[in-house]
Amino acid sequence: MTDHSEDIFFIEDDEISMEKETWKILIVDDEKGIHAATKIALSEFVLDKKALSFISVYSGEEAKKILAMENDIALIFLDVVMETEDAGLLVVHYIRDVLKNHRVRIVLRTGQPGQAPEEETILKYDINDYKNKTELTSQNLFSVTVSSLRSYKHITHLNEYQEKLEKMVEERTQELAHSRAGMKIILDNIQLGIVIVNPDRTINQEYSQFMHKLFREENIIAGQPFESVYFWEKEREKDRKLVERWLGMVFNGTFEWNLIADLGPKLIQYKSGNDIIYYQNSYHPIIHDNKVTALMVNTSDVTQQKKLEIAIKEQEDAYSQEIEIISVIISQDREEFGKYLEKSDELLASAFKSLEILKKNENDFETCNQLFRKMHSLKGNSRAYSMKRLGKLAHEIEDILSDIRSQEITLQSELVNGKIAVKVMELKFDKMNSILTKAFEIYEKVVMEKEKNFGKIRKNANSITLDVEKLDQILKKCHILEDTAVKFKLIIAPGIKALKRNIYQLTLLNLDVAYNRFEKILNDVAELCGKDALFETRGDSIYLKETAHNLIVNSLIHMIRNAVDHGLETPDQREAMGKPAKGKIILETKQGDEEIKIQIQDDGAGLDPSSIIKKALSKDLIKEEEVPNMTKEEILQLILLPGFSSVEQVSEISGRGVGMDVVVDAVNQLGGSLDIQSDIKMGTTFTIILPRAGESNIKIKEIE
């Protein structure tokens, strides 16, 4: 369902009355052109029936004066370098630390990113976004403005609610201090849980009657330990112990209140049937002679507020997700992206079946390994197509499965967040399915509308529409005609054979359609690893049937990621070894009369046989007595075994013990082989050898 409570639309200028309430936008930049461009790009912007009103200043000092007078500015587009190199950063400091204004959203814009590096600036200064001026297209500016104003609106609402709550607590607290009789009346009638906790952790005799509504009518409250009242459920022993330790720190006088105040449980979540309720606590120490002698705790039911926050967050996530999907579709090869969606849908469905099998038998380690590999493939494919949310969820499931494989936990184990492992995975599967469903919907709207009546099609280099299924049918008929012609020695037999060969070629996919994707993956992984790499392709054009094409592309993705992460050194390491700072990864293809060779070559550190043997022994992949008789080639082949990994630390890229065994499985399905050549400090070459595609090509097993 679509929520129309918040609409974004554009209207003509004459439809906006300047007397109406507007969103105030402050532009701080010493370039007049930036002011003009921003106003033009956002001139027709309206959110919640409120247009934008702009305030322009050209220096940090002017901005400070405006901000001191105007306390309802919603968004600031702030330049870094103006009258000084750090003028914009000083304005950020003035807003947050001097004015104590944490509501206004700040988008830092710079044309000189070297003056204020993004990562350092975001960590050091309380800003909400950081953009290079060259990045801010009209579309980006629109998206940034929408998300910033939404955030400002939500923060404003929460601050108003908090101010009301604090005011109410303050009023009630003052009344308590004036009169015990008045306190009794208040405690009997106030719609707020109020208790006084004594140094022995018990609750004082005087407390608000609303506590019984919060913590069940029949509960005894006075004289009970605070932690037993607030965490009464049997399974929350861990929470009770933590609160007991915290109260001990509060009352023993060892620590100042300001140092430990935030350690108390603020937002507590409870199960209520099939629902969840949320209580929020605030703590107010009663201090005598510089020592906490009692602790007043105010408890309010914030369930509706919390659910509203969750709903808002889900709505924002859904909006961001749709924007991400649309951006991905626009930036990718659309036919390839459609195939990615279909493959991901198949993988997810297959993975869910594996989970159902695993739930019936937790000791089925083969199914667990299969499920792990499917998540690994889904993660890699999703990141290759910039589907970050899907990749992140697959990575999170991979984390849980990794612990199950190492027998650190079971499907029924309780995780850090208190939830059962299998339930967490099922929830993540649901989220992944939701993302894919939405992606299919958007894909059909953006891409498939004009082609919905054409079935499965592909275009060749001359833009002729080809129906692959019909070509396969024609090819089968050619087989029958050829057999008949040969049997009766008809003169047309050679012609039919040539026709069949030409039709067969039309059903093949060229491997080079994936080269751009390979280069993007290489660059992304290199950036994550802090490495610099050049991608080079050379050789013959290779054509494969669709199933074989998908298997080889996925295998090459694994190999390219491994080559960057495992093979190449960092720029500093390479220069110290006398190598160019930028590493090189070469994809070379060769087509012979009988076979196809596809090579991935890097000029990195190479494979160390001694390290491989050590790792294989530690993982019980080989026996020590086998080592002396092993050749170098046999040692190198050990890295292809399931579970082998030379990386000690698990990251989003490596250390899972999965990857090359997936490649081996794919190559074996195609009737091929995988060869490894490597020299220390020189690099490594992986060669996939396949039977040549043609009339006599082996039948390719379809992947379930």
**Chain-centre distance of CA 376, in angstroms?**
14
Are 190 and 292 within 8 A, CB to CB?
no
Query: What mean pLDDT do residues 177-206 have?
Result: 76
CATH of 334-450, one of 1.25.40.80, 1.20.120.160, 3.40.50.11540, 3.40.50.300: 1.20.120.160
4: its two tokens: 């129309």
Are 583 and 532 within 8 A, CB to CB?
yes
CATH no. for 179-301? 3.30.450.20
Round the average pLDDT of the chain to a whole number and report it: 80
Query: What mean pLDDT do residues 437-466 have?
Result: 57
Number of other CB atoms surrounding residue 603 within 10 Å: 23
Are 250 and 262 within 8 A, CB to CB?
no
Query: What mean pLDDT do residues 154-159 have?
Result: 87
CATH of 511-691, one of 2.40.50.140, 3.30.565.10, 3.30.930.10, 3.30.70.60: 3.30.565.10
pLDDT class of 61 with cuts at 50, 70, 90: very high
Q: Are strands 50-57 and 45-47 parallel, antiparallel or unpaired?
A: antiparallel
In this model, does residue 119 exceed pLDDT 90? no
Q: What is the DSSP string of 412-450?
A: T-B-TTS-BHHHHHHHHHHHHHHHHHHHHHHHIIIIIGG
Question: Which value, to the nearest 10 degrees, does the dihedral of the CA atoms of residues 235, 239, 243, 244 take?
Answer: 50
| Torsions phi, psi for 621 (to 5 deg) | -85, -25
- For 194-208, letters b (16+ CB in 10 Å) and e give bbbbbeebbbeeebb
Q: How distant, in Å, are the alpha carbons of 342, 353, 386, 398 from that of 347?
A: 9, 10, 17, 14
In this model, does residue 450 exceed pLDDT 60? no
Question: Which value, to the nearest 10 degrees, does the dihedral of the CA atoms of residues 370, 375, 378, 380 take?
Answer: -110
> Quick one: pLDDT at residue 457?
42
Most confident range (mean pLDDT) of 94-98, 182-186, 273-277 is 94-98
> Quick one: pLDDT at residue 328?
73
> Quick one: pLDDT at residue 59?
94
Query: What mean pLDDT do residues 196-213 have?
Result: 87
> Quick one: pLDDT at residue 704?
24
Are 365 and 373 within 8 A, CB to CB?
no
Amino acid identity, position 620? D
Q: What is the DSSP string of 312-364?
A: HHHHHHHHHHHHHHHHHHHHS-HHHHHHHHHHHHHHHHHHHHHHHHHHH-TT-
> Quick one: pLDDT at residue 695?
37
CA separation for the pair 120, 352 (Å, rounded): 42
Indicate left, alpha or beta for 225 from its phi (over 0: left) and psi (-120 to 50: alpha).
beta
CA separation for the pair 68, 50 (Å, rounded): 24
Classified as helix, coil or strand, 73 is strand
In this model, does residue 488 exceed pLDDT 70? no
Query: What mean pLDDT do residues 137-150 have?
Result: 89
pLDDT class of 3 with cuts at 50, 70, 90: very low
| Torsions phi, psi for 691 (to 5 deg) | -60, 140
Query: What mean pLDDT do residues 344-352 have?
Result: 89
Give the position of tokens 């005894």: 220
Rg, the chain, Cα only: 33
Nearest to 206 by CA among 184, 226, 189: 184
**Chain-centre distance of CA 361, in angstroms?**
30
Q: Which residue ranges make up each domain of the chain?
A: 8-161, 179-301, 334-450, 457-506, 511-691
Least confident among 34-43, 452-461, 606-615, 645-654: 452-461
Q: How distant, in Å, are the alpha carbons of 307, 321, 613 from that of 315?
A: 12, 10, 52
CA separation for the pair 689, 673 (Å, rounded): 5
The model carries a pTM of 0.43
In this model, does residue 63 exceed pLDDT 80? yes
In this model, does residue 525 exceed pLDDT 70? yes
Classified as helix, coil or strand, 59 is coil
In this model, does residue 124 exceed pLDDT 50? yes
Task: State pLDDT tens for residues 272-322.
Answer: 777 888 999 999 999 888 888 999 999 988 888 888 888 877 777 777 777
pLDDT class of 437 with cuts at 50, 70, 90: confident
Residues in a beta bridge with 589: 539, 598
**Chain-centre distance of CA 468, in angstroms?**
36
In this model, does residue 569 exceed pLDDT 70? yes
pLDDT class of 90 with cuts at 50, 70, 90: very high
Indicate left, alpha or beta for 348 from its phi (over 0: left) and psi (-120 to 50: alpha).
alpha
Query: What mean pLDDT do residues 323-327 have?
Result: 74
In this model, does residue 429 exceed pLDDT 70? yes
Assign a CATH topology to domain 8-161.
Rossmann fold (3.40.50)
Classified as helix, coil or strand, 11 is coil
Least confident among 536-545, 564-573, 611-620, 657-666: 657-666
Are 577 and 681 within 8 A, CB to CB?
yes
pLDDT class of 448 with cuts at 50, 70, 90: low
pLDDT class of 597 with cuts at 50, 70, 90: very high
Nearest to 540 by CA among 595, 500, 498, 463: 595
pLDDT class of 683 with cuts at 50, 70, 90: very high
> Quick one: pLDDT at residue 464?
45
Query: What mean pLDDT do residues 567-584 have?
Result: 91
627: its two tokens: 């080592």
Is 53 or 409 the better-scoring residue by pLDDT? 53
pLDDT class of 514 with cuts at 50, 70, 90: confident
In this model, does residue 470 exceed pLDDT 50? yes
In this model, does residue 656 exceed pLDDT 50? no
